[in-house]
Amino acid sequence: MRFQRLIGLVIMGVTGLAALLLWIGVSATDTSHQRVHHGVLFGVWRVFYDTAAPPWPQLFIAVGVALLLALSVAVLERRIATRYRRSENVDVTPLSPKVVMAATRGVFHGEVTVTVLVPAHNEEASLGATLTSLWEQSVAPTRIVVVADNCTDRTVEVAHAHGAEVFESVENTHKKGGALNQALRWLLPGQGENDTVMVMDADTALDPGFLEAAVRRLTHDRALMAVGGLFYGEPGHGLIGQFQRNEYVRYGREIRRRRGRVFVLTGTASIFRPRALRTVAAARGSIIPGVQGDVYDTAALTEDNELTIALKSLGALMISPDECTVVTELMPSWRTLWNQRLRWQRGALENVGAYGITPQTSRYWAQQLGLGYGVFALTSYFVLILLMLLATDAWIWFPFWIGLGLVFMVERVVTVWRGGWKARLLAMTIFPELFFDFFLDLVFVKGVIDISLGRQAAWKHIEHTSSGVLEEAEP
Amino acid sequence: MIPTGSIDVLVFGHHLLPPSWLHSTGYDVLMIFVAINTVMYAALSVAKVLPALHPTEWFTRRRRSETRSIYPDGSSDQQE
């Protein structure tokens, strides 16, 4: 069952219903309690406090439900992954480890090589550093091909100057995905079983051991179809930069806790075996959405997320190892961040809608449902605080809420610990990050509205100028 | 907002909504609704702070029945 334009309404409908049921449940219980008390601190300071808290049974049920939901999602994902891993069905899961192992057993197909494709649309300012980071890897790539897509600047010259080959797209109207499809159509036929292809953004720099670690894993496991990078944010951009860095630190921590099990093979830097890309191209239009022969689905706003779901749907094994880290650019302003996140959010929703409810998309459905419910939860939280601030005439302490706040504070700080003292300091203050979450909730709602109304999505491109200024432009 | 008044009572000069709102059933329902949601998120937060558990790995064997190396003789397996 596929959803297309209804996807946003389905997510908001289901989560809204859950919120409504909870509301009705709460309304049906006795909510009366003794109100504000007061006491004296240090003999002089009279304080008001409100001991209001939900009854213990309700709290236990809430904790139980939350943990049960989280556990169910984790167990379900694990079971589905195991099922796909053990599948021997060539027609349904042509990339599952058993199928790939059987096809490559007993034959040495050559050492693992890496050919890097760097899609670039007017990237003269950042391309040089990207190519340098590639050549300086402890295990250097065999080839670097810059895929120049409708460039009007010196991208091609910069590429040549840094020892890269150049592939120029021809009459491409499908942006990055379209340019990569053309390049892959040219490249893939000549690639052997272990001649892997890396796709890497022109504004990204690899950490030194990335390729070495990836090649080692691809050598040890011929069933491994893709290795994804773990990205973290570049320094700078003040508070808005720190918000994004904290997000990426938390995401990286989550992936490590999942033992590198991939959520999204990031477009910033991911390596694929040619078999994986060829199989996706062949399966499009039948087992998975898209146009047959295309590796990337050009209808998807987030082509890397879509390709990840495509590979998972075909049974591919992939990993984001701890050693494969990349530095990625951050959005410098709220406007550019809004546009980036709107594209990501809308893309993720549309991908889930395009695939419908399948075993391999269930984890992504759970994520979107979680985000949808978060909108209701956080909005009601802010409404409550606002009402209290506007209607109260004295500062009242709420021990229950302070206790909960401390729990969140610990979690916020622990999860960004790797990000350094600035990250911890921001996390400790809780409220700025809550407002940032609310900003992302607004993006989510805007994405739902845009999809539901069938609005055309804009694919904004960040232009890097040689002065280092970032400008937004329609490509 | 800057508290005004004596040291023992921190009083805000004006309030924009009638304080009686805070004693209404609707407000109580909202508060418990938010409280239950917040407790659910707090439970998930605690789970995130604690070390991740991978119970399936406690029982599964680590040796593979055949090499998955690109070398048919499995010569890269020793390096793992």
Residue A275 has pLDDT above 70, yes or no: yes
Whether A170 is covered by a domain: the verdict is yes
Q: Find, in chain A, the residue whose alpha carbon is nearest to that of B71.
A: A108
Mean pLDDT, chain A, integer:
89
Give the residue-averaged pLDDT of A421-445. Answer: 95
Give which of B1, B24, B27, B41 to mutate to test A binding, by max A Cβ within 10 Å: B41
pLDDT at B15: 67
Least confident of A141-145, A468-472, B54-58, B76-80: A468-472
Rg of chain B over Cα atoms, rounded to whole angstroms, equals: 30
* Neighbouring C-beta atoms of residue A33, cutoff 10 Å: 14
pLDDT bin (cut points 50, 70, 90) of residue A467 is very low
pLDDT in tens, A118-134: 999 999 998 998 999 89
Residue A458 has pLDDT above 50, yes or no: yes
Whether A132 is covered by a domain: the verdict is yes
pLDDT in tens, B17-41: 777 777 788 888 888 899 899 999 9
Q: Count of domains in chain A?
A: 1
Q: Are B70 and A224 in contact (CB under 8 A)?
A: no
On chain B, the residues whose CB falls within 8 A of the CB of A31 are 25, 28-29, 31-32
Give the residue-averaged pLDDT of A441-450. Answer: 93
- Contact B30/A at CB under 8 A: yes
Whether A48 is covered by a domain: the verdict is no
Please count the residues of chain B.
80
**Chain A 385-424, residues with CB within 8 Å of chain B CB atoms:** 387-395, 400-401, 404, 407-408, 410-411, 414-415
pLDDT at A3: 67
Per the structure, the complete domain to which residue A265 belongs is given by 93-356
pLDDT in tens, A198-243: 999 988 889 989 999 999 999 999 999 999 999 899 999 999 999 9
CATH number at residue A197: 3.90.550.10
Tell me, what's the ipTM? 0.85
Percentage, residues of chain B above pLDDT 90: 19
A43 vs A111, residue with greater confidence: A111
Q: Are A313 and A352 in contact (CB under 8 A)?
A: no
pTM across the whole model: 0.88
Residue B2 has pLDDT above 50, yes or no: no
Whether A458 is covered by a domain: the verdict is no
Task: List, in sequence order, every beta strand (DSSP E) within A295-433.
Answer: 317-319, 325-328, 396-397
Dihedral sign, Cα of residue A53, residue A55, residue A56, residue A59: negative
Q: Are A340 and A289 in contact (CB under 8 A)?
A: no
pLDDT at A314: 95
Q: Is B1's CB within 8 Å of A391's CB? A: no
Cα separation of B5 and A182, whole Å? 72
Among residues A303, A440, A300, A316, the alpha carbon closest in space to that of A367 is found at A440
- Contact B5/A at CB under 8 A: no
Whether A35 is covered by a domain: the verdict is no
Whether A363 is covered by a domain: the verdict is no
Cα separation of A307 and A280, whole Å? 8
Residue A302 has pLDDT above 50, yes or no: yes
Whether A440 is covered by a domain: the verdict is no
On chain A, the residues whose CB falls within 8 A of the CB of B68 are 97, 101, 220-223
pLDDT bin (cut points 50, 70, 90) of residue B80 is very low
pLDDT bin (cut points 50, 70, 90) of residue A369 is very high
State both tokens at A57. 């049974």
Q: What are phi and psi of A213, to 5 degrees?
A: -65, -40
Whether A263 is covered by a domain: the verdict is yes
